[in-house]
Amino acid sequence: MPNRRLNVFLCHAKEDKPTVRELYRQLTAEGWMDVWLDEENLFPGQEWDMEIEKAVEAADVVIVCLSSFSVSKEGYVQKEIRFVLNIADEKPEGTIFVVPLRLDDCQVPRRIRAWQYVDYFPKANQKRAYARLLESLKLRAGKIGISVGRIGNPIDEPDENETVKAERERKAKEERERSVRLATQKAEDERIAREKAEAERKAKAERDRLTLQKAEERRKAIADAFRKINFKRLFAIGGIIGACVALFFVGRFVIENLPTIPASTPTSEVSETSEVSLVAPTRLLPTESPTNPPASNLGVGSTWTSPKDGMVMMFVPAGKFSMGSDSGSDDEKPVHDVTLDSYWIDKIEVTNAMYAKCVEAGQCDAPNPTSSYTRQSYYGNSEFDDFPVIYVSWDDAKNYCGWRGDETRLPTEAEWEKAASWDADRQEKRIYPWGNTFVRSSLNFCDENCSFYLWRDSSADDGYADTSPVGNYPSGASFYGLLDMTGNVWEWVGSLYQTYPYNSSDGREDLSVSGDRVLRGGSLGNDGSDIRSSVRNWYSPVVTYYDIGFRCARSLP
């Protein structure tokens, strides 16, 4: 009996990646299969079409994932399916080689109808469907003499497959180290540029402060001038004419000394204590800065700083917004109105340095692993303190937000989408946080550096083959001033994954029940179609991954 695993190839369309990725993890966890998935087995610099053909030829079983996307879409996925069918024609009659797996209620292509398919939908049916799929794989394994128990690597006589795998891993490691060196140099150049920009911002803020201070001094001088006028005496001496003359000269004084408010849009900055910075669209109002200011003093642009980790939170006023998209996937439909109370939400994604404070306090578990996709040392490395924390589960994210206190928690799915997409001035929804046109320079997404995915956009270069520093793309800000709401990393929200319309009272916001939880925003591995503000993703709450992070929200006291 051969001491090797069953080779399984997953043929699928990129639009089905979330479901296929979860299936990959389940099959791999069985322990007796080597499952081939492009994003896991393709490495930078490889010719992906040749590698895919080699993987199909080496496969014992090919699972063809069928959906309305894969059966109707033109492109490589059709070529991949045809290649699989050609290989199947060469197999002995009765061999279980092709296993069609329907992910939705799609039409099975004519050439694939010869094989019995498995319906991997609806979600309630997935457990039973997975069991049937597993039985087919076990039958195939038994036919070729592969044990379906958990097996380890051979000790005495490593086979050729393991030698090839070791060589592939060695080359991949060299490529990652090269990428790290290039990224380190680029990061240093960008750090210098950011420091220069920060110095210029602080200088401008100081100039604005002095301008406002002078304006306040002039206002007081005007008030003093009015107080010093003795109108009774003026009337006694010169009557109405004398009083009018005095008012004329005082009026000229007022006009000539009106305060000049800076024309540029005010910007908020991180303070060392829990303060609120109120920003109005046309004027600055001097206010007190209590820890919890009255809601009546708050508006779009108001900020609050968490004393635990220094995170700046942006204020989102109460009101109605449109949730979902009629032009997206089925789970984004229908578009419907949702009304929310006011709330705060983090301006940026939680960083490695912020998360480390919770770990040091003994309230959070450290990410595992502490590497990233291309970096051997990521979490705990000061070079990446300002990068988003990754490899955190839904429970890790929930615990962190709870540790911050002040009624801080994970945002609901509705809160996240409003903060990312709603334009309160125009009372309309944006496709992307910054507007309705995809702008490649406004986010970290799957560009030319994203060589491990087939759908990369080779016409763009955002500067990163991995995560980027939080807040690195200010042009991608949402109406409420939030950064990185699309791209960089997927973000956990508190909500269970359920169908629309959204209803906060139907149990989806119950944090105590089990079930898949929602992620929003897309990541460095997604293209323009998958990072729209309305796109939904979901995973088991125990899942961690190299492109999953989070941000927190806070209810008003």
Q: Is residue 286 part of a domain?
A: no
Residue 186 and residue 133 share a domain: no
Distance CA 380, CA 397 (A): 17
**Six token digits for residue 204:** 């401008």
Q: Is residue 492 part of a domain?
A: yes
Residue 396 and residue 537 share a domain: yes
* Residue for token pair 């380190």: 184
Give the pLDDT confidence score for residue 212 in this predicted structure.
57
Show the domain range for 201.
175-256
Tally of domains within the chain: 3
Residue 187 and residue 143 share a domain: no
Residue 400 and residue 536 share a domain: yes
Domain boundary, last residue among 256, 276, 298: 256
Distance CA 31, CA 10 (A): 17
Dihedral of alpha carbons 530, 531, 532, 535, sign: positive
Residue 114 and residue 238 share a domain: no
Give the pLDDT confidence score for residue 269 in this predicted structure.
34
Give the pLDDT confidence score for residue 235 in this predicted structure.
42
| The model scores a pTM over 0.85 | no
Per-residue pLDDT 10s for the chain (557 aa) are 467 899 999 988 888 899 999 999 999 998 999 999 988 888 888 888 788 888 888 999 999 999 988 888 766 567 778 887 888 777 777 677 889 999 999 988 888 888 888 999 888 888 899 999 999 999 888 888 888 864 443 333 344 456 666 777 777 777 777 777 777 877 777 788 778 777 777 776 776 666 556 555 554 554 444 444 444 344 444 554 544 544 444 444 444 443 333 333 333 333 333 333 333 332 222 333 335 555 668 999 999 999 999 999 999 999 999 999 998 889 999 999 999 999 999 999 999 999 999 999 999 999 999 999 899 999 999 999 999 999 999 999 999 999 999 899 999 999 999 999 999 999 999 999 999 999 999 999 988 888 656 667 878 888 898 999 999 999 999 999 999 999 999 999 999 999 999 999 999 999 999 999 999 999 998 888 789 999 999 999 999 999 999 999 999 98
Q: Is residue 165 part of a domain?
A: no
Helix spans in 298-449 (H): 352-360, 394-404, 413-421
Residue 198 and residue 128 share a domain: no
Residue 13 and residue 56 share a domain: yes
Q: Is residue 525 part of a domain?
A: yes
Q: Are strands 517-520 and 536-539 parallel, antiparallel or unpaired?
A: antiparallel
Q: Report the CATH number at residue 328.
A: 3.90.1580.10
Distance CA 537, CA 516 (A): 10
Q: Is residue 233 part of a domain?
A: yes
Q: Is residue 20 part of a domain?
A: yes
Residue 516 and residue 386 share a domain: yes
Give the pLDDT confidence score for residue 298 in this predicted structure.
92
Residue 411 and residue 508 share a domain: yes
